[in-house]
Amino acid sequence: MALKFGTDGVRGIANTELTPEFALALGRAAAQALGGGRFVIGRDPRRSGDLLEAALTAGLLSQGADVLSLGVVPTPGVSFVARTTGASAGVVISASHNPMQDNGIKFFGSDGKKLPDATESAIQAALANDFDRPAGSGVGRLTHSSDPIAAYANFLSGTLGETTLAGLKLVIDGANGAASYLAKPLLERLGAEVIATHCEPDGLNINAHCGSTHPEALAARTKSENADAGLAFDGDADRVILADRYGRIFDGDRILLTGALWWKLDRVVGTVMSNMGLELALQAAQVRLERANVGDRYVAELLVQTRARLGGEQSGHILFPELSPAGDGLLTALQILKIVKDSGRDLSVWYDNMTTLPQKLVNVAVKERDGWESDSAISAAITDTARSLEGRGRLLVRASGTEKLIRVMAEAPTETEVAAVCERVASAIREVRGA
């Protein structure tokens, strides 16, 4: 299997798809394409991280690049260290919210931003190159140090300004991932009382029925503890989903709305998957919602184009371009808790600023996913259905990027209508293209 860069680096099942041989070659290619220098590497705690980091490091060193290994650290921590220490690049070994058996390798530039497509293409192309082999003093050196993580924690603390978290009771879910060792001490240092769950990684339990993709247990615990907020991170801690004291899930859409209202923004960037309820709530506050394609890199691009100060995804991957170029679950949590403290309004009050429209997603298996847009019967069904929802809901139809599926997503005022809308369009697709 020839792995290629996707929307978030290279991913696959560790040691069978994402092999140490590939990681070694990728390290060599990255050193050549990015011009050597010093690379900062961090990882999440999944077991295969040691294997892949060793191979990737060997590839970099073999081309004369030096490596600083941070060990287990949140993905945005690698971005921070890369951009503040003069590194050539930052590299993260993580599959984020994916299951334990998966892993991935993604790169940040010296500016802390994810590499542009053209640079990733250059690394991809360099995989096929022949390489000179430096010897003696030309071989790179490896250094292990977690000291820069303290600077990252200080940066996070500094974003609160004069605000403290004193008086707040928090429940956190570290997803048995990269936030497990950092989140609790950081929040306690800032004055909060913290109850930690799923912060005991063993290399196998990352994201296992916990974290931002499974926030239900956190929400229940937040309610039972009568805590002010719950915070659920994903495996590499670049996302966070919150819960209020009533056990209600406070997702990325509500995070965007809260920031927009408190900071009196004129626009925010979401994605095509942002709920219509967010758009309606923003409209009521005279805030424009700009929609990017799914993926934080596309949110980042639209933030630059629109000069917006806040953007993100429903998944809790939020970007504050004035504070950091990388999505950061801890940073996001701190900014929302700062709003709670500075406003004097409980998180549950901010929750009530938005009503989420019922949303349904139907995946239709098809013989071929290409060319469906040109089919007149499908186009007619989509046009008629979208017209019926105008001003009250939303319809999004798109092909899967990896599977023979057409995804039909609809939002409408009621569960009954959203189910009927999805079935109407899905039936038209099945009739013409169904597998």
Catalytic residue positions, numbered = 96
Minimal CA–CA distance to 313: which of 361, 251, 355, 363? 251
Q: What is the DSSP letter of 114?
A: B
Type of residue numbered 102: D
Q: Alpha-carbon distance 309 to 62, whole Å?
A: 41
Q: How far is CA 262 from the centre of its chain?
A: 23
Minimal CA–CA distance to 339: which of 285, 264, 248, 249? 264
Contact (Cβ atoms closer than 8 angstroms) between residue 396 and residue 409: yes
Q: Alpha-carbon distance 212 to 231, whole Å?
A: 8
The residues, any chain, with a CB within 8 Å of residue 68's CB and separated by 6 or more, are 38, 39, 40, 41, 81, 85, 87, 143, 144, 145, 148
3-class SS of residue 387: helix
- Tokens read off for 199: 């912060």
Q: How far is CA 205 from the centre of its chain?
A: 19
Type of residue numbered 86: G
HSE value, Cβ hemisphere, 13 Å, CA-based, for 198: 30
Q: How far is CA 171 from the centre of its chain?
A: 21
Q: How far is CA 25 from the centre of its chain?
A: 26
Do strands 102-109 and 249-250 pair parallel, antiparallel, or not at all (unpaired)?
Answer: unpaired
Q: Alpha-carbon distance 83 to 108, whole Å?
A: 9
Q: How far is CA 10 from the centre of its chain?
A: 15
- Phi and psi angles of residue 282, each rounded to the nearest 5 degrees, phi first: -65, -40
